[in-house]
A and B are shown apart, each in its own frame.
Chain A
Amino acid sequence: MWLESSNHLQYTADRHLKLALWLLLPLYVLGVVALWAAFIHAPTEREMGEVQRILYFHVGAAWTAFFAFFVVFVAGIIYLWRRRLFWDEFAAASAEIGVVFTTIVLATGPIWARPIWNTWWPWGDPRVTTTLVLWLIYVAYFILRSSLPEGEKRARFAAVFGIIGFIDVPIVFLSIRWWRTIHPVLIDRTGAKMEPEMLQALMISVVAFTFLYFALLFLRTAMRLQHYAAEEMTHVVRERSE
Chain B
Amino acid sequence: MRHLKLIWVLAAKDLRIEYRSRQAFLTTVFFAVLILIVFNFAFDPGSASTRDASPGILWVALLFPGIIQLNRSFQSEMEEGTLQGIVMSPLDRGVFFFGKLLANWLFLLAIDVLILAAFVIFFNFSLEVGLLWVFLLMFLVGGGFTAVGTVFAAMVSNVRIREVLLPILLFPIIVPIILAAVNATREVLIHQDFSTLSRWLQLIVAFDVVFLAAGFLVFDYVVGE
Q: Number of B interface residues at 8 Å Cβ cutoff, please give it.
A: 33
Nearest chain A CB to B212's CB is how many angstroms away? Answer: 12
Closest to B162 in A: A147
**Of A144, A148, A174, A179, which one neighbours B183 at CB under 8 angstroms?**
A179
Find residues 158-193 in chain B having any chain A CB closer than 8 Å to their own CB.
159-161, 165, 168-169, 171-173, 175-177, 179-180, 183
Cβ contact within 8 Å between B210 and A143 = no
Closest to A175 in B: B176
Question: Interface residue tally of chain A, by bracket?
Answer: 20 to 34
Of the listed stretches B9-17, B113-121, B196-204, name the one at the interface; the rest are far from the partner chain: B196-204
Find residues 199-225 in chain B having any chain A CB closer than 8 Å to their own CB.
199-200, 203, 206-207, 210-211, 214, 218, 221-222, 225
Question: Would you call B109 an interface residue if the criterion is a C-beta within 8 Å of the partner chain's C-beta atoms?
Answer: no
A157 / chain B contacts, CB cutoff of 8 Å: 155, 222
Question: Would you call A207 an interface residue if the criterion is a C-beta within 8 Å of the partner chain's C-beta atoms?
Answer: no
Cβ contact within 8 Å between B221 and A159 = yes
Cβ contact within 8 Å between A174 and B203 = yes
Cβ contact within 8 Å between A179 and B179 = yes
Cβ contact within 8 Å between B172 and A175 = no
**Of B159, B160, B172, B179, which one neighbours A137 at CB under 8 angstroms?**
B172
Interface string of B51-81 (1 = CB under 8 A from A): 0000000000000000000000000000000
Cβ contact within 8 Å between B196 and A136 = no
Question: Would you call B102 an interface residue if the criterion is a C-beta within 8 Å of the partner chain's C-beta atoms?
Answer: no
Nearest chain A CB to B37's CB is how many angstroms away? Answer: 28
Cβ contact within 8 Å between A164 and B151 = yes
A172 to B179, CA, bound (A): 9
Cβ contact within 8 Å between A163 and B172 = no
Nearest chain B CB to A130's CB is how many angstroms away? Answer: 9
Find residues 152-206 in chain A having any chain B CB closer than 8 Å to their own CB.
153, 156-157, 159-161, 163-165, 167-168, 171-172, 174-176, 178-179, 182
A144 / chain B contacts, CB cutoff of 8 Å: 155, 165, 169
Question: Would you call B137 an interface residue if the criterion is a C-beta within 8 Å of the partner chain's C-beta atoms?
Answer: no
Question: Would you call B148 an interface residue if the criterion is a C-beta within 8 Å of the partner chain's C-beta atoms?
Answer: yes
**Of B173, B175, B221, which one neighbours A156 at CB under 8 angstroms?**
B221
Cβ contact within 8 Å between B218 and A160 = yes
Cβ contact within 8 Å between B221 and A160 = yes
Cβ contact within 8 Å between A176 and B221 = no
Cβ contact within 8 Å between A168 and B176 = yes
Nearest chain A CB to B174's CB is how many angstroms away? Answer: 9
A164 to B183, CA, bound (A): 24
Once A137-B172, A172-B175, A179-B183 are accepted as A-B contacts, the answer to whether A163 and B222 lie under 8 Å apart by CB is no
A159 to B168, CA, bound (A): 17
Cβ contact within 8 Å between B175 and A175 = yes
B214 / chain A contacts, CB cutoff of 8 Å: 163-164, 167
Cβ contact within 8 Å between A164 and B179 = no
Cβ contact within 8 Å between B221 and A178 = no
Question: Would you call A78 an interface residue if the criterion is a C-beta within 8 Å of the partner chain's C-beta atoms?
Answer: no
A176 to B148, CA, bound (A): 20
Question: Would you call A133 an interface residue if the criterion is a C-beta within 8 Å of the partner chain's C-beta atoms?
Answer: yes
Cβ contact within 8 Å between B148 and A143 = no
A143 to B170, CA, bound (A): 12
A143 to B155, CA, bound (A): 13
Closest to B203 in A: A175
8 contacts between A and B (CB under 8 A): A144-B169, A147-B156, A147-B159, A147-B161, A159-B221, A164-B151, A164-B211, A165-B173
* New contact pairs (6) apart from A144-B165, A163-B214, CB-CB < 8 Å: A137-B172, A147-B161, A156-B221, A164-B173, A168-B176, A175-B179
**Which chain A residues have a beta carbon within 8 Å of chain B's beta carbons?**
80, 133, 136-137, 140, 143-144, 147-148, 153, 156-157, 159-161, 163-165, 167-168, 171-172, 174-176, 178-179, 182
